[in-house]
A = this chain, B = another copy of it.
Amino acid sequence: MAGAEVPDIVIGRLPIYLRALTLLAEAGQEFTSSQELGQILSIGSAQIRKDLSHFGEFGKQGTGYEVSYLRDQISRILHVDRDWSLALVGFGDLGQAIAHYGGFSSKGFHITAVFDADPEVVGQSFGDGAVRHVDTLKEVVSDMRIRMAIVAVPAAAAQDVTDMLIEADVKAILNYAPITLSVPSHVHVQYIDPVAHLQKMTYYLA
């Protein structure tokens, strides 16, 4: 119930529920059910009801869940009912793609500072700003009170960059570099590794 510590795996499913509810709301649907959400998401309806019960009573017998209400409640629980500033470290091919990708800012995640170590890259423009030298990372990120960062540097540089981010008081890192980062327990890390996803699937292909 509300207040108790919620398992991390349940938290990980909330963004998926939020995504489905947002699509339903955009389609003008007023009510949904754990059965319908389960069908959309290929998750069991009992699992969905149990996950949501950690945070309170959102559904009504007979009518189910009110789509926009549940969407707003999950937004609030995840703290995505506000905007977040992000630092992006690395402005190579991948970093540029991330900086130009519209999917972050449309969900309230704004890349407000970009860093790179290459003197040829420093000064290039992105969105509203210019790429800064990574040597200024700690000062700039601290001053701007940025608490989230995206790491898009080569594997060999990722731990050093991560250490700098942690010194600047960053609490959450989305890591695209293909290594496991070493961080203190109060810092959250999530990994994006498309090659690992492909390699998992080839197991099943003859």
Name A residues whose Cβ lies closer than 8 Å to a Cβ of B: 11-12, 14-16, 18-20, 23, 40-42, 77-80, 84, 86, 93-94, 96-98, 100-104, 107, 109, 147-148, 155, 171-172, 174, 178-180, 182, 188, 190-206
State how many angstroms separate the Cβ of A196 from the closest Cβ of chain B. Answer: 4
Q: Are B197 and A190 in contact (CB under 8 A)?
A: yes
18 pairs of residues in contact across A and B, judged by CB atoms under 8 Å: A12-B196, A15-B196, A15-B197, A23-B179, A41-B180, A42-B182, A78-B199, A78-B203, A79-B202, A84-B202, A93-B102, A94-B97, A104-B195, A107-B198, A147-B205, A148-B198, A172-B204, A174-B198
State how many angstroms separate the Cβ of A34 from the closest Cβ of chain B. Answer: 15
CA A20 to CA B191, docked complex, whole Å: 14
- If A203-B14, A204-B172 touch, does A178 touch B19 (CB 8 Å cutoff)? yes
Q: Are B42 and A201 in contact (CB under 8 A)?
A: no
State how many angstroms separate the Cβ of A19 from the closest Cβ of chain B. Answer: 6
Name 15 extra pairs, CB < 8 A, besides A94-B97, A148-B198, A188-B201.
A14-B199, A16-B196, A18-B199, A19-B178, A20-B180, A41-B180, A78-B202, A79-B205, A93-B100, A103-B178, A107-B199, A171-B205, A174-B197, A190-B197, A191-B197
CA A196 to CA B22, docked complex, whole Å: 13
CB neighbours (8 Å) of A109 from chain B are 195, 198
**Copy number of this protein in the oligomer?**
2
Q: Are B174 and A188 in contact (CB under 8 A)?
A: no
Q: Are B188 and A204 in contact (CB under 8 A)?
A: yes
